[in-house]
Amino acid sequence: MNVDERRSGLLLAMVWLAFQFTALAQTTNFAHPLDPLSKDEIALAAKVLKDAGRATAASRFQTIALNEPPKSEVLDFKPGDAFRREAFVIVYERAANKTFDSVVDLRSQTVKTWREVPGAQPSFMLEDIFIVQTVVRSNPEWQAAMRKRGITEFSKVQVEPWPAGNYGFKDEEGIRLIRALSYYRGESKMPYAHPVEGVVAVVDLNKKRVLKLIDTGVVPVPKADFDIDEKSVEQRLGKLREAPKPLSIVQPNGASFEIRGNEIRWQKWRFRYALHPREGVVLYTVGYEDGGKVRSVLYRGSLSEMVVPYGDPSESWFFRNAFDEGEAMVGSLALPLVERTDVPENAVLMNAVRSSESGSAIESKNVIGLYERDGGVLWKHADYLTNTNESRRGRQLVLTYFANVGNYEYGFNWVFHQDGALEMEAMLTGVMSTKGVLPINSGHGNHNGNMFGHLVADGVEAVHHQHFFNFRLDLDVDGTANTVVEQNTEALPPGKTNPYNNAFVMKNVPLKTELTAQRQLNLATHRRWLVVNPNQKNSLGQPTGFLLSTGENSVPLAAINSSVRRRAGFVNSHLWVTPQTADEMYAAGLYINQSKGGEGLPAWTKRNRPLENKDVVVWYTFGVTHIPRPEDWPVMPVHKAGFKLMPVGFFTQNPALDVPK
């Protein structure tokens, strides 16, 4: 193996080695049923399955994570109580192309459940990535395609895996697949500036062969480098701008939050957290202290699924619809956070434990950040008659992590506000997926790229795409019995009740069943959704509630009968509501890799279960439609999207009134 090959392999290993994170483990002294698995517990789960004859040295442990106890047991738990300790395990047998999942009782060291899941393909594994590298680079057809484009040093080509999806192709049925793209790295640190357009290798991972090679014709590989390190940028653009004067974030008396194992306490907020290998950072048992009592708000909140569909229908692009959670395990791709850039200098960085595919455990450093940040003006009022001017400066608590998914980076911030609001900030950055097109001076083609993308550099086009995120929010507003109410604001018609034509009212409609609770946003009526506890009233006689305040959003542009819409049915509605059910966790289903579709929310809600005054789960889908611009190149400035949960009638006055100056 030459130097370039070793370097390429090392870089890929660094990108993908984060696969299989299990959960954030700050302590091995388990004090709570939701504490994540320790290193010892991960290893024990694998050992129990091997000892029972369910797994062998050849087995691949795609997931080993906490099997969360029933919600009722968690809510009834008191410090010092005994509680169950179980692991959920996904095992893949490559030789047989079979997937099994299991629940292992770690207390008794027994296999509690074991089942084969026919036709299921678990998410990507590190081993899959190495197989793709070896198989594609050694394939004669691929090598010939590279030579046609003037590339003879195959070790300098980055072979990048993409999910295969499911398009009903007969020759792909029942095979564990990856579609492999090619980028010429050369000496550049930015391979995405050099796409080898039109070449796609469909790889049979188990037989370790190229099932078929797609070559749609030669397009010149763009030559210009766009490395983004300081030295490269300065060489390309000239002297860097003068740095702003130092900004120091100092807390001389220490942080205002308290970490107790996996519990955080800050400014009347109480919550637990973990890093799940699939979902990323998960919040548990979120409550707010009010009048000496911690009132429940959210039992469990997490990213349930995400999908990124691209809008280019060509043969080498139509399949690019990535489920970055269900296919790539976005939580397991958490990156070490860099102080003073990813997080401010006052952040506390925390570690995580990941499971390897062999069933061992490895600790990864600094993948979760926790810090306080300035929140701007919290509230203000000046009275000119009394010459008084009262205002307060706000503070926010941020729980954050970043994940690297190939060319793209996603950051997720759970933000706690002093006024009782809880916010999710999804941050989109990284490098756009690129397509090679004819150079500007070629005399051919549209200099602005084709209709499916926009030119961002000479010979480089970024393709139109969308990002959709679905969050599963098991809200417990003052208890488990809740009702979701849709609010629409409407203008009254002219008449006796509206003599000056200025009147508008809000209409509240409870969402009574699952089918009626599949809802879209409506800008014309300022549509929003309120989760109330009809059994609890504030001092004004109103039911206590929390509002889902929506931000930026989109509707899917792929056709309803497209493969991506069949598999990502959750994008069909912005809002879904279901009864709380332990095995309904992922909006597109548990096994999304190469799935045919129809699973998850579309399947569950067909039962049309009642929702009023029940323990309900709110599923919110928000999306970003990205029409690329040159300013997004070569690395995209952070774009934020998300939502906020805001108290409505939960308190009878501003809960931040007691914040001191």
SS (H, E, C) 85-113: CEEEEEEEECCCCEEEEEEEECCCCEEEE
Residue carrying the six token digits 């100092």: 250
Where does the pLDDT of residue 354 fall: very low under 50, low under 70, confident under 90, or very high at 90 and above?
confident
Amino acid 102: pLDDT: 98
Q: Are 219 and 437 in contact (CB under 8 A)?
A: yes
Beta pairing partners, 528 = 487
Tokens representing 615 are 């323990």
| CA–CA distance, 100 with 32 (Å, rounded to integer) | 28
The pLDDT tens digits for 407-451 are 999 999 999 999 999 999 999 999 999 999 999 887 655 555 568
Residue 19, pLDDT above cutoff 50:
no
What whole-number distance in Å separates Cα of residue 202 and Cα of residue 315? 12
pLDDT tens string 111-126: 999 999 999 999 999 9
Write down the pLDDT at residue 578.
Answer: 99
pLDDT tier at 625 (50, 70, 90 boundaries)? very high
User: How far is residue 534's CA from residue 547's CA, in Å, rounded to a whole number?
Assistant: 14
Q: Which pLDDT score is estimated for 6? A: 44
Q: Contact 15/246 with Cβ under 8 angstroms?
A: no
Please state, rounded to an integer, the average pLDDT across all residues of the chain.
94
473 or 18, higher pLDDT: 473
Q: Which amino acid is at 508?
A: N
With CA atoms as reference, report the closest residue to 643 among 303, 397, 338: 303
Counting residues of the chain whose pLDDT is more than 70, the rounded percentage is: 94
User: From CA 37, how far away is CA 85, in angstroms rounded?
Assistant: 9
Four-residue CA torsion sign, 528, 534, 538, 542: positive
Give the C-alpha separation, 424 to 124, whole Å. 27
Query: Does residue 348 carry a pLDDT above 50?
Result: yes
- CA 196 to chain CA centroid, Å, is 28
| Structure confidence at residue 442 (pLDDT) | 74
pLDDT in tens, 74-88: 999 999 999 999 999
Res 446: pLDDT: 55
Cα–Cα distance, 327 to 306 (Å, whole number): 10
Cα distance between the two ends of the chain: 64
The per-residue pLDDT for 273 is 97
Q: Are 471 and 617 in contact (CB under 8 A)?
A: no
DSSP track, 122-164: PPP-HHHHHHHHHHHHT-HHHHHHHHHTT---GGGEEEEEEE-
Q: According to the model, what pLDDT value does residue 129 have?
A: 95
Return the exposure string of 279-317: e unless at least 16 CB atoms fall within 10 Å of the residue's CB, then b. Answer: bbbbbbbbbbeeeeeebbbbbbbbbbbbbbbbbbeeebb
CA torsion sign, 530 to 535 to 536 to 537?
positive
Q: What DSSP state is assigned to residue 25?
A: -
pLDDT for residue 364: 86
pLDDT above 90: residue 620: yes
Q: Are 457 and 633 in contact (CB under 8 A)?
A: yes
pLDDT, tens only, 526-556:
999 999 999 999 999 999 999 999 999 999 9
Per-residue pLDDT at 24 exceeds 50? no
By the 8 A CB rule, do 331 and 278 touch?
yes
Write out the DSSP string of 209-226. EEEEEEE----PPP----
- For residues 241-270, average pLDDT: 95
pLDDT, residue 448, reads: 54
> Tens of pLDDT along 631-659?
999 999 999 999 999 999 999 999 999 99
Quote the pLDDT of residue 451: 87
Task: State pLDDT tens for residues 367-415.
Answer: 999 999 999 999 999 999 999 999 999 999 999 999 999 999 999 999 9
Task: Report yes or no: 341 and 361 within 8 Å, Cβ to Cβ.
Answer: no
- pLDDT (0 to 100) of residue 23: 34
Distance, CA of 287 to CA of 266 (rounded, Å): 11
Question: Can you give the pLDDT at residue 31?
Answer: 86
State the pTM of this model: 0.94
Residue with tokens 């763009």: 222
pLDDT in tens, 51-74: 999 999 999 999 999 999 999 999
For the residues of 309-361, what is the DSSP string, one character each?
EB---STTTTT-EE-TTTTT-GGGGBPPPPBTTTB-TTPEEEEEEEE-TTS-E
Beta bridge partners of 98: 93
Residue pair 167/206 in contact by the 8 Å Cβ criterion: no
The answer on pLDDT for 507 being more than 50 is yes
**In 3D, which of 530, 517, 528, 552 has the Cα closest to residue 643?**
552
Residue 15's pLDDT band (cuts 50, 70, 90): very low
Asked if residue 623 has pLDDT above 70, the reply is: yes
Q: What are residue 467's DSSP bridge partners? A: 624
Quote the pLDDT of residue 203.
98
Name 275's bridge partners: 281
Q: Looking at residue 345, what is its pLDDT?
A: 96
Residue 141 CB contacts under 8 Å (≥ 6 apart), including other chains: 210, 213, 215
Give the model's pLDDT for residue 512: 98
User: Is residue 11 over pLDDT 80?
Assistant: no
Question: Span 348-372, mean pLDDT?
Answer: 94
Peptide bond into 195 cis (omega under 30): no
- Report the catalytic residues: 324, 408
Which one is predicted more confidently, 298 or 7? 298
Q: What was the pLDDT predicted at 443?
A: 64
Lowest mean pLDDT among 161-165, 309-313, 358-362: 358-362
**Over pLDDT 90: what percentage of the chain?**
93
Bigger pLDDT: 17 or 98?
98
The answer to whether residue 16 scores a pLDDT higher than 60 is no
Locate tokens 């150079």: which residue? 439
Local confidence band at 9 (pLDDT 50, 70, 90 cut-offs): very low
CA distances from 261 to 20, 24, 28, 398 (A): 22, 10, 9, 17
Q: Which residues have a Cβ under 8 Å from the Cβ of 72 and sit 6 or more positions away?
A: none
pLDDT for the residue 449: 55
> Is the model's pLDDT at 30 over the cut of 70?
no
